[in-house]
Chains A and B, each alone.
Chain A
Amino acid sequence: MRSSSRFAAAALAAALFALPSAAQEDAGAEDSPGAYVFHAAGCHGCHTAKDGVALAGGRALETPFGTFFSPNITPDVEHGIGAWSLEDFRRALREGIGPDGTTYYPSFPYDNFTRMSDADIAALYGYLMAQPASGNVPPKHDLSFPFSMRSLLVVWRALYFEEGPRPDAGLDPQLARGRYLADALTHCGACHTPRTMLGGSDDDLYLAGNAQGPEGEKVPNITPDKATGIGDWSEGDLLFLLKAGMMPDGDVVSGSMAEVVRESTRHYTNEDIAALIAWMGAIPAIENKP
Protein backbone atom coordinates (compact mmCIF):
# COMPACT_ATOMS: atom_id res chain seq x y z
CA MET A 1 0.00 0.00 0.00
CA ARG A 2 1.33 3.42 -0.90
CA SER A 3 1.46 5.77 2.02
CA SER A 4 3.39 8.90 1.05
CA SER A 5 1.37 11.84 -0.19
CA ARG A 6 4.48 13.77 -1.15
CA PHE A 7 4.91 12.57 -4.68
CA ALA A 8 6.57 14.69 -7.29
CA ALA A 9 3.97 15.17 -9.99
CA ALA A 10 6.04 13.42 -12.64
CA ALA A 11 6.63 10.36 -10.50
CA LEU A 12 2.98 10.20 -9.54
CA ALA A 13 1.91 10.59 -13.14
CA ALA A 14 4.34 7.89 -14.23
CA ALA A 15 3.03 5.55 -11.55
CA LEU A 16 -0.61 6.06 -12.47
CA PHE A 17 -0.95 6.87 -16.11
CA ALA A 18 0.81 4.72 -18.68
CA LEU A 19 1.49 6.23 -22.09
CA PRO A 20 2.39 4.38 -25.27
CA SER A 21 5.89 5.05 -26.52
CA ALA A 22 6.03 7.24 -29.59
CA ALA A 23 6.54 5.71 -32.99
CA GLN A 24 7.26 8.41 -35.55
CA GLU A 25 6.77 6.94 -39.00
CA ASP A 26 3.58 8.36 -40.45
CA ALA A 27 2.89 12.12 -40.17
CA GLY A 28 -0.84 11.52 -39.80
CA ALA A 29 -0.60 8.75 -37.23
CA GLU A 30 -2.08 9.20 -33.79
CA ASP A 31 1.31 8.66 -32.17
CA SER A 32 3.20 11.07 -34.43
CA PRO A 33 4.79 14.31 -33.16
CA GLY A 34 2.24 16.20 -35.25
CA ALA A 35 -0.63 14.49 -33.46
CA TYR A 36 0.92 15.46 -30.16
CA VAL A 37 1.06 19.13 -31.14
CA PHE A 38 -2.46 18.85 -32.57
CA HIS A 39 -3.87 17.60 -29.27
CA ALA A 40 -1.88 19.96 -27.08
CA ALA A 41 -3.00 22.93 -29.19
CA GLY A 42 -6.63 21.82 -29.02
CA CYS A 43 -7.29 22.31 -32.75
CA HIS A 44 -10.09 19.76 -32.90
CA GLY A 45 -12.34 21.48 -30.37
CA CYS A 46 -12.73 24.83 -32.11
CA HIS A 47 -12.50 23.56 -35.67
CA THR A 48 -15.21 20.92 -35.35
CA ALA A 49 -18.90 21.75 -35.18
CA LYS A 50 -21.18 19.78 -32.91
CA ASP A 51 -21.95 16.52 -34.69
CA GLY A 52 -19.96 17.91 -37.64
CA VAL A 53 -17.10 16.43 -39.64
CA ALA A 54 -13.79 16.56 -37.75
CA LEU A 55 -11.82 19.74 -38.50
CA ALA A 56 -14.28 20.87 -41.15
CA GLY A 57 -15.08 24.02 -39.15
CA GLY A 58 -18.38 25.75 -38.48
CA ARG A 59 -18.30 25.63 -34.72
CA ALA A 60 -19.88 28.79 -33.34
CA LEU A 61 -17.79 30.62 -30.79
CA GLU A 62 -19.86 33.20 -28.95
CA THR A 63 -17.88 36.10 -27.55
CA PRO A 64 -18.60 39.64 -26.35
CA PHE A 65 -17.59 40.79 -29.86
CA GLY A 66 -20.05 38.59 -31.73
CA THR A 67 -20.17 35.02 -32.97
CA PHE A 68 -17.19 33.55 -34.78
CA PHE A 69 -17.46 30.45 -36.95
CA SER A 70 -14.29 28.42 -37.24
CA PRO A 71 -12.93 27.64 -40.71
CA ASN A 72 -12.41 24.27 -42.35
CA ILE A 73 -8.83 23.10 -41.75
CA THR A 74 -9.10 19.75 -43.48
CA PRO A 75 -6.89 19.29 -46.57
CA ASP A 76 -9.74 19.99 -48.98
CA VAL A 77 -8.14 22.02 -51.78
CA GLU A 78 -11.08 24.34 -52.34
CA HIS A 79 -12.71 24.81 -48.95
CA GLY A 80 -9.97 23.71 -46.56
CA ILE A 81 -6.23 24.23 -46.39
CA GLY A 82 -5.31 21.60 -48.96
CA ALA A 83 -3.69 24.13 -51.28
CA TRP A 84 -1.55 25.67 -48.56
CA SER A 85 2.21 25.30 -48.55
CA LEU A 86 4.06 24.80 -45.29
CA GLU A 87 5.07 28.45 -45.57
CA ASP A 88 1.41 29.50 -45.88
CA PHE A 89 0.62 27.48 -42.79
CA ARG A 90 3.58 28.85 -40.88
CA ARG A 91 2.53 32.39 -41.75
CA ALA A 92 -1.05 31.76 -40.57
CA LEU A 93 0.14 30.57 -37.16
CA ARG A 94 3.14 32.84 -36.75
CA GLU A 95 1.73 36.05 -38.24
CA GLY A 96 -2.05 35.55 -38.28
CA ILE A 97 -2.25 36.18 -42.00
CA GLY A 98 -3.83 33.85 -44.56
CA PRO A 99 -2.40 32.94 -47.95
CA ASP A 100 -4.67 35.54 -49.61
CA GLY A 101 -3.45 38.26 -47.26
CA THR A 102 -6.49 38.19 -44.96
CA THR A 103 -5.69 39.20 -41.40
CA TYR A 104 -7.23 36.81 -38.91
CA TYR A 105 -9.31 37.77 -35.91
CA PRO A 106 -7.66 36.76 -32.65
CA SER A 107 -10.54 34.36 -32.01
CA PHE A 108 -7.97 32.20 -33.80
CA PRO A 109 -5.43 32.49 -31.00
CA TYR A 110 -2.42 33.27 -33.13
CA ASP A 111 -1.11 35.55 -30.42
CA ASN A 112 -0.47 32.18 -28.75
CA PHE A 113 0.43 30.09 -31.77
CA THR A 114 2.96 32.70 -32.94
CA ARG A 115 5.15 31.33 -30.14
CA MET A 116 5.20 27.81 -31.58
CA SER A 117 8.54 26.46 -32.78
CA ASP A 118 9.14 25.94 -36.50
CA ALA A 119 9.48 22.21 -35.80
CA ASP A 120 6.09 22.00 -34.12
CA ILE A 121 4.45 24.03 -36.88
CA ALA A 122 5.89 21.68 -39.48
CA ALA A 123 4.81 18.59 -37.56
CA LEU A 124 1.28 19.94 -37.17
CA TYR A 125 1.14 20.78 -40.87
CA GLY A 126 2.13 17.23 -41.75
CA TYR A 127 -0.52 15.82 -39.45
CA LEU A 128 -3.34 18.03 -40.72
CA MET A 129 -2.48 17.37 -44.36
CA ALA A 130 -2.81 13.63 -43.69
CA GLN A 131 -6.37 13.92 -42.32
CA PRO A 132 -9.50 13.25 -44.42
CA ALA A 133 -10.63 16.20 -46.55
CA SER A 134 -14.10 17.73 -46.28
CA GLY A 135 -15.76 20.25 -48.59
CA ASN A 136 -17.76 21.81 -45.77
CA VAL A 137 -18.22 25.59 -46.03
CA PRO A 138 -18.74 27.15 -42.60
CA PRO A 139 -20.90 30.27 -42.07
CA LYS A 140 -19.30 33.71 -42.04
CA HIS A 141 -18.54 35.45 -38.74
CA ASP A 142 -21.44 37.37 -37.26
CA LEU A 143 -19.83 40.26 -35.41
CA SER A 144 -21.10 43.43 -33.83
CA PHE A 145 -19.93 46.83 -35.05
CA PRO A 146 -17.14 47.97 -34.96
CA PHE A 147 -15.56 44.54 -34.59
CA SER A 148 -17.09 43.56 -37.91
CA MET A 149 -14.55 45.84 -39.59
CA ARG A 150 -11.58 43.64 -40.28
CA SER A 151 -9.44 46.68 -41.10
CA LEU A 152 -9.49 47.58 -37.41
CA LEU A 153 -7.34 44.55 -36.72
CA VAL A 154 -4.41 46.80 -37.59
CA VAL A 155 -5.05 48.54 -34.28
CA TRP A 156 -5.35 45.28 -32.37
CA ARG A 157 -2.12 44.01 -33.87
CA ALA A 158 -0.23 47.21 -33.11
CA LEU A 159 -1.39 47.18 -29.51
CA TYR A 160 -1.32 43.51 -28.60
CA PHE A 161 0.41 41.28 -31.11
CA GLU A 162 4.03 40.36 -30.59
CA GLU A 163 5.27 38.02 -33.27
CA GLY A 164 7.43 34.98 -32.71
CA PRO A 165 8.58 32.54 -30.03
CA ARG A 166 9.55 34.06 -26.70
CA PRO A 167 13.19 33.85 -25.63
CA ASP A 168 13.83 31.50 -22.72
CA ALA A 169 16.19 34.06 -21.14
CA GLY A 170 17.77 31.81 -18.55
CA LEU A 171 14.48 30.19 -17.56
CA ASP A 172 14.81 26.73 -16.06
CA PRO A 173 14.21 24.25 -18.94
CA GLN A 174 11.24 22.63 -17.23
CA LEU A 175 9.63 26.01 -16.62
CA ALA A 176 10.37 27.06 -20.18
CA ARG A 177 8.62 23.94 -21.43
CA GLY A 178 5.70 24.56 -19.08
CA ARG A 179 5.37 28.11 -20.34
CA TYR A 180 5.52 26.87 -23.92
CA LEU A 181 2.72 24.38 -23.27
CA ALA A 182 0.56 26.96 -21.49
CA ASP A 183 1.16 29.86 -23.88
CA ALA A 184 2.21 28.53 -27.28
CA LEU A 185 0.22 25.30 -27.53
CA THR A 186 -2.70 24.86 -25.13
CA HIS A 187 -3.31 28.65 -25.06
CA CYS A 188 -4.69 28.65 -21.50
CA GLY A 189 -4.74 32.44 -21.50
CA ALA A 190 -7.17 32.57 -24.41
CA CYS A 191 -9.89 31.82 -21.85
CA HIS A 192 -8.28 32.29 -18.42
CA THR A 193 -6.75 35.73 -19.06
CA PRO A 194 -9.30 38.54 -19.36
CA ARG A 195 -9.41 40.67 -22.48
CA THR A 196 -9.35 44.41 -22.76
CA MET A 197 -12.18 46.35 -24.40
CA LEU A 198 -10.38 45.97 -27.69
CA GLY A 199 -9.97 42.23 -27.39
CA GLY A 200 -6.34 42.19 -26.36
CA SER A 201 -5.01 39.85 -23.73
CA ASP A 202 -4.71 41.77 -20.45
CA ASP A 203 -1.29 40.50 -19.47
CA ASP A 204 -1.32 42.18 -16.06
CA LEU A 205 -4.00 39.63 -15.21
CA TYR A 206 -2.24 36.61 -16.75
CA LEU A 207 -4.43 33.55 -16.06
CA ALA A 208 -6.21 35.45 -13.28
CA GLY A 209 -9.71 34.60 -14.52
CA ASN A 210 -12.13 36.00 -17.06
CA ALA A 211 -15.70 36.98 -16.30
CA GLN A 212 -16.53 37.06 -20.00
CA GLY A 213 -15.05 33.90 -21.39
CA PRO A 214 -15.99 32.36 -24.73
CA GLU A 215 -19.51 30.96 -24.88
CA GLY A 216 -20.55 33.11 -21.95
CA GLU A 217 -18.62 31.09 -19.44
CA LYS A 218 -17.07 32.59 -16.35
CA VAL A 219 -13.51 31.32 -16.34
CA PRO A 220 -11.70 30.88 -13.01
CA ASN A 221 -8.48 32.38 -11.74
CA ILE A 222 -5.76 29.71 -11.99
CA THR A 223 -2.86 31.69 -10.56
CA PRO A 224 -1.38 30.52 -7.25
CA ASP A 225 -3.32 33.12 -5.26
CA LYS A 226 -4.68 31.35 -2.18
CA ALA A 227 -7.89 33.33 -1.82
CA THR A 228 -9.08 33.71 -5.40
CA GLY A 229 -6.88 31.30 -7.37
CA ILE A 230 -5.66 27.74 -6.91
CA GLY A 231 -2.84 28.47 -4.47
CA ASP A 232 -4.04 25.79 -2.09
CA TRP A 233 -3.96 23.01 -4.69
CA SER A 234 -1.22 20.40 -4.43
CA GLU A 235 0.72 19.15 -7.44
CA GLY A 236 -1.32 15.97 -7.19
CA ASP A 237 -4.52 18.02 -7.39
CA LEU A 238 -3.29 19.64 -10.59
CA LEU A 239 -2.26 16.29 -12.02
CA PHE A 240 -5.74 14.89 -11.43
CA LEU A 241 -7.32 17.97 -12.95
CA LEU A 242 -5.19 17.74 -16.08
CA LYS A 243 -5.59 13.97 -16.49
CA ALA A 244 -9.11 13.20 -15.28
CA GLY A 245 -10.75 16.62 -14.97
CA MET A 246 -11.31 16.13 -11.24
CA MET A 247 -11.03 19.07 -8.87
CA PRO A 248 -9.92 18.72 -5.26
CA ASP A 249 -13.53 18.63 -3.99
CA GLY A 250 -14.31 15.62 -6.19
CA ASP A 251 -16.29 17.65 -8.72
CA VAL A 252 -15.43 17.21 -12.39
CA VAL A 253 -14.96 20.18 -14.72
CA SER A 254 -17.70 21.31 -17.10
CA GLY A 255 -18.11 23.07 -20.42
CA SER A 256 -15.00 24.13 -22.31
CA MET A 257 -12.60 22.84 -19.68
CA ALA A 258 -14.06 19.35 -19.92
CA GLU A 259 -13.20 19.59 -23.59
CA VAL A 260 -9.67 20.90 -22.91
CA VAL A 261 -8.89 18.02 -20.55
CA ARG A 262 -10.36 15.48 -22.92
CA GLU A 263 -8.78 16.80 -26.10
CA SER A 264 -5.54 18.28 -24.81
CA THR A 265 -4.07 17.91 -21.38
CA ARG A 266 -4.80 14.24 -20.77
CA HIS A 267 -2.70 13.50 -23.84
CA TYR A 268 0.39 15.24 -22.43
CA THR A 269 3.40 13.10 -21.67
CA ASN A 270 4.12 12.79 -17.99
CA GLU A 271 7.11 15.10 -18.39
CA ASP A 272 4.90 17.73 -19.97
CA ILE A 273 2.28 17.41 -17.24
CA ALA A 274 5.04 17.99 -14.70
CA ALA A 275 6.36 20.95 -16.71
CA LEU A 276 2.95 22.60 -16.88
CA ILE A 277 2.38 22.03 -13.18
CA ALA A 278 5.78 23.57 -12.42
CA TRP A 279 4.90 26.59 -14.54
CA MET A 280 1.50 26.97 -12.87
CA GLY A 281 3.27 27.07 -9.52
CA ALA A 282 5.82 29.64 -10.69
CA ILE A 283 3.57 32.30 -12.20
CA PRO A 284 2.64 35.37 -10.15
CA ALA A 285 -0.24 34.97 -7.73
CA ILE A 286 -2.86 37.55 -8.64
CA GLU A 287 -5.83 38.35 -6.47
CA ASN A 288 -8.76 38.61 -8.79
CA LYS A 289 -12.24 37.20 -8.62
CA PRO A 290 -13.82 37.16 -12.08
Chain B
Amino acid sequence: MKKILVVVPALAGLLLGATLTFAPAITQAEDSATVVHERQQLMKNFGGAMKTIGGYLQGGIGTTEEVAAAAGVIAEGAARIPDLFPAGTSMNDVMDPKTGAKPAIWEQWDDFVADAEIAQARATTLQELALAMDDAALGGAFEALGNDGCGGCHKEFREKLE
Protein backbone atom coordinates (compact mmCIF):
# COMPACT_ATOMS: atom_id res chain seq x y z
CA MET B 1 0.00 0.00 0.00
CA LYS B 2 1.09 3.60 0.44
CA LYS B 3 3.34 3.29 3.41
CA ILE B 4 6.88 2.08 3.44
CA LEU B 5 7.91 -1.04 5.22
CA VAL B 6 8.23 -0.65 8.93
CA VAL B 7 10.74 -3.13 10.23
CA VAL B 8 12.34 -2.18 13.49
CA PRO B 9 14.33 -4.89 15.19
CA ALA B 10 14.42 -4.75 18.97
CA LEU B 11 17.95 -3.38 18.93
CA ALA B 12 18.19 -2.60 22.61
CA GLY B 13 17.00 -6.10 23.35
CA LEU B 14 19.68 -7.56 21.13
CA LEU B 15 22.29 -5.65 23.06
CA LEU B 16 21.00 -7.02 26.34
CA GLY B 17 21.72 -10.61 25.54
CA ALA B 18 20.69 -13.69 23.70
CA THR B 19 18.44 -15.22 26.33
CA LEU B 20 15.64 -12.76 25.65
CA THR B 21 12.67 -13.65 23.54
CA PHE B 22 11.48 -11.21 20.95
CA ALA B 23 8.26 -9.71 19.82
CA PRO B 24 7.10 -11.08 16.51
CA ALA B 25 8.16 -8.76 13.69
CA ILE B 26 5.69 -7.14 11.42
CA THR B 27 6.43 -6.45 7.81
CA GLN B 28 3.82 -4.17 6.34
CA ALA B 29 2.42 -0.85 7.37
CA GLU B 30 -1.04 -2.04 6.49
CA ASP B 31 -0.70 -4.89 8.96
CA SER B 32 0.57 -2.57 11.64
CA ALA B 33 -2.44 -0.27 11.25
CA THR B 34 -4.70 -3.27 11.63
CA VAL B 35 -2.94 -4.62 14.67
CA VAL B 36 -2.88 -1.20 16.35
CA HIS B 37 -6.58 -0.84 15.76
CA GLU B 38 -7.18 -4.33 17.07
CA ARG B 39 -5.29 -3.78 20.32
CA GLN B 40 -6.98 -0.45 20.86
CA GLN B 41 -10.29 -2.24 20.58
CA LEU B 42 -9.04 -4.83 23.05
CA MET B 43 -8.13 -2.10 25.55
CA LYS B 44 -11.53 -0.47 25.06
CA ASN B 45 -13.13 -3.81 25.84
CA PHE B 46 -10.99 -4.04 28.98
CA GLY B 47 -12.18 -0.57 29.99
CA GLY B 48 -15.78 -1.61 29.49
CA ALA B 49 -15.22 -4.76 31.53
CA MET B 50 -13.53 -2.81 34.34
CA LYS B 51 -16.48 -0.43 34.37
CA THR B 52 -18.91 -3.35 34.63
CA ILE B 53 -17.03 -4.81 37.58
CA GLY B 54 -16.57 -1.39 39.19
CA GLY B 55 -20.27 -0.65 38.79
CA TYR B 56 -21.17 -3.85 40.56
CA LEU B 57 -18.77 -3.19 43.42
CA GLN B 58 -19.64 0.47 43.74
CA GLY B 59 -23.34 0.47 43.30
CA GLY B 60 -24.60 -3.08 43.09
CA ILE B 61 -25.29 -2.69 39.37
CA GLY B 62 -25.63 -6.01 37.55
CA THR B 63 -24.97 -9.53 38.78
CA THR B 64 -22.03 -11.70 39.75
CA GLU B 65 -22.54 -13.57 36.48
CA GLU B 66 -21.92 -10.34 34.60
CA VAL B 67 -18.89 -9.63 36.75
CA ALA B 68 -17.52 -13.10 35.97
CA ALA B 69 -18.11 -12.58 32.26
CA ALA B 70 -16.36 -9.21 32.35
CA ALA B 71 -13.39 -10.69 34.19
CA GLY B 72 -13.35 -13.43 31.54
CA VAL B 73 -13.10 -10.80 28.80
CA ILE B 74 -9.98 -9.42 30.50
CA ALA B 75 -8.44 -12.83 31.17
CA GLU B 76 -8.90 -14.01 27.59
CA GLY B 77 -7.88 -10.68 26.12
CA ALA B 78 -4.73 -10.46 28.24
CA ALA B 79 -3.54 -13.72 26.72
CA ARG B 80 -3.62 -12.05 23.30
CA ILE B 81 -1.55 -9.01 24.32
CA PRO B 82 1.90 -10.24 23.24
CA ASP B 83 0.63 -11.07 19.74
CA LEU B 84 -0.96 -7.65 19.39
CA PHE B 85 2.29 -5.82 20.02
CA PRO B 86 4.57 -6.90 17.18
CA ALA B 87 7.89 -5.08 16.87
CA GLY B 88 7.66 -1.93 14.81
CA THR B 89 4.34 -0.75 16.24
CA SER B 90 5.43 1.63 18.99
CA MET B 91 4.15 5.19 19.22
CA ASN B 92 7.35 6.27 17.48
CA ASP B 93 6.90 3.87 14.58
CA VAL B 94 3.25 4.09 13.77
CA MET B 95 1.60 7.18 12.34
CA ASP B 96 -1.36 6.80 14.62
CA PRO B 97 -1.77 9.67 17.07
CA LYS B 98 -3.77 7.40 19.33
CA THR B 99 -1.22 4.74 20.14
CA GLY B 100 0.65 5.30 23.38
CA ALA B 101 2.70 2.12 23.18
CA LYS B 102 6.14 3.11 24.47
CA PRO B 103 9.28 1.75 22.79
CA ALA B 104 10.16 0.34 26.24
CA ILE B 105 7.77 -2.54 25.46
CA TRP B 106 10.24 -3.98 22.97
CA GLU B 107 13.30 -3.03 25.01
CA GLN B 108 11.92 -4.97 27.97
CA TRP B 109 9.86 -7.54 26.12
CA ASP B 110 10.07 -10.23 28.79
CA ASP B 111 8.79 -7.82 31.45
CA PHE B 112 5.97 -6.81 29.15
CA VAL B 113 4.92 -10.41 28.58
CA ALA B 114 5.16 -11.12 32.29
CA ASP B 115 2.87 -8.14 33.01
CA ALA B 116 0.30 -9.49 30.57
CA GLU B 117 0.47 -12.87 32.30
CA ILE B 118 -0.09 -11.23 35.67
CA ALA B 119 -3.12 -9.40 34.29
CA GLN B 120 -4.47 -12.70 33.01
CA ALA B 121 -3.91 -14.40 36.37
CA ARG B 122 -5.53 -11.59 38.39
CA ALA B 123 -8.51 -11.47 36.05
CA THR B 124 -8.91 -15.25 36.31
CA THR B 125 -8.89 -15.03 40.10
CA LEU B 126 -11.57 -12.36 39.98
CA GLN B 127 -13.62 -14.48 37.59
CA GLU B 128 -13.45 -17.48 39.89
CA LEU B 129 -14.47 -15.42 42.91
CA ALA B 130 -17.39 -13.95 41.00
CA LEU B 131 -18.50 -17.42 39.88
CA ALA B 132 -18.32 -18.52 43.51
CA MET B 133 -20.36 -15.41 44.41
CA ASP B 134 -17.74 -14.48 46.97
CA ASP B 135 -18.75 -10.81 47.24
CA ALA B 136 -16.51 -10.15 50.21
CA ALA B 137 -13.35 -11.00 48.28
CA LEU B 138 -14.20 -9.19 45.04
CA GLY B 139 -13.00 -5.76 46.15
CA GLY B 140 -9.54 -7.01 47.00
CA ALA B 141 -9.33 -9.00 43.78
CA PHE B 142 -10.36 -5.95 41.80
CA GLU B 143 -7.73 -3.85 43.58
CA ALA B 144 -5.12 -6.47 42.66
CA LEU B 145 -6.25 -6.58 39.03
CA GLY B 146 -6.14 -2.81 38.70
CA ASN B 147 -2.74 -2.39 40.33
CA ASP B 148 -0.80 -5.51 39.38
CA GLY B 149 -2.56 -6.23 36.12
CA CYS B 150 -3.56 -3.06 34.28
CA GLY B 151 -1.43 -0.65 36.31
CA GLY B 152 1.65 -2.85 36.33
CA CYS B 153 1.87 -2.64 32.56
CA HIS B 154 0.58 0.93 32.16
CA LYS B 155 3.16 2.19 34.62
CA GLU B 156 6.13 1.34 32.41
CA PHE B 157 4.78 0.81 28.96
CA ARG B 158 1.91 3.08 28.18
CA GLU B 159 1.92 6.79 27.47
CA LYS B 160 -1.39 8.32 28.38
CA LEU B 161 -2.56 10.40 25.43
CA GLU B 162 -5.50 12.74 25.34
Residues of A within 8 A of B145 (CB): 244
Q: Tell whether, in the assembled complex, residue A254 and residue B158 are in contact, meaning their CB atoms are under 8 Å apart.
A: yes
CB of A97 closer than 8 Å to a CB of B: no
Q: Tell whether, in the assembled complex, residue B151 and residue A261 are in contact, meaning their CB atoms are under 8 Å apart.
A: yes
CB of A258 closer than 8 Å to a CB of B: yes
Q: Tell whether, in the assembled complex, residue B59 and residue A2 are in contact, meaning their CB atoms are under 8 Å apart.
A: yes
Q: Tell whether, in the assembled complex, residue B146 and residue A252 are in contact, meaning their CB atoms are under 8 Å apart.
A: yes
Residue in B closest to A239 when the chains form the complex, CB atoms = B58
- B9-48 to A contact mask, C-beta < 8 Å, 1/0: 0000000000000000000000000000000000000111
Most buried by A among B47, B59, B61, B140: B59
Residues of A within 8 A of B100 (CB): 254
Q: Tell whether, in the assembled complex, residue A4 and residue B59 are in contact, meaning their CB atoms are under 8 Å apart.
A: yes
- A215-238 to B contact mask, C-beta < 8 Å, 1/0: 001100000000000000000100
Q: Tell whether, in the assembled complex, residue B158 and residue A246 are in contact, meaning their CB atoms are under 8 Å apart.
A: no
Residues of A within 8 A of B142 (CB): 16, 244
Partner of B60, one of A4, A239, A248: A4
CB of A141 closer than 8 Å to a CB of B: no
Report how far A261 CA is from B60 CA in the complex, Å.
24
Chain B nearest Cβ from A212, distance in angstroms = 15
Partner of A244, one of B60, B147, B154, B162: B147
Q: Which of B36-71 contact A (CB under 8 A)?
A: 46-51, 54, 57-61, 63
CB of A44 closer than 8 Å to a CB of B: no
Q: Tell whether, in the assembled complex, residue B60 and residue A250 are in contact, meaning their CB atoms are under 8 Å apart.
A: no
Q: Which of B47-99 contact A (CB under 8 A)?
A: 47-51, 54, 57-61, 63
Residues of B within 8 A of A250 (CB): 46-51, 54
Residues of A within 8 A of B158 (CB): 254-255
Most buried by B among A246, A255, A261: A246
5 nearest A-B residue pairs (beta carbon): A16-B139, A2-B60, A244-B146, A250-B47, A5-B59
Q: Spell out A's residues near B (CB within 8 Å).
A: 1-5, 7, 12, 15-18, 217-218, 236, 239-240, 243-246, 248-255, 258-259, 261-262, 266
Q: List 5 A-B contacts (CB under 8 A).
A: A2-B60, A16-B140, A218-B162, A240-B146, A262-B151
Assuming A7-B58, A245-B151, A252-B154, what are 14 further A-B pairs, CB within 8 angstroms?
A: A3-B60, A5-B61, A16-B57, A246-B50, A246-B146, A249-B51, A251-B47, A252-B151, A253-B151, A254-B154, A255-B154, A255-B160, A258-B152, A259-B155
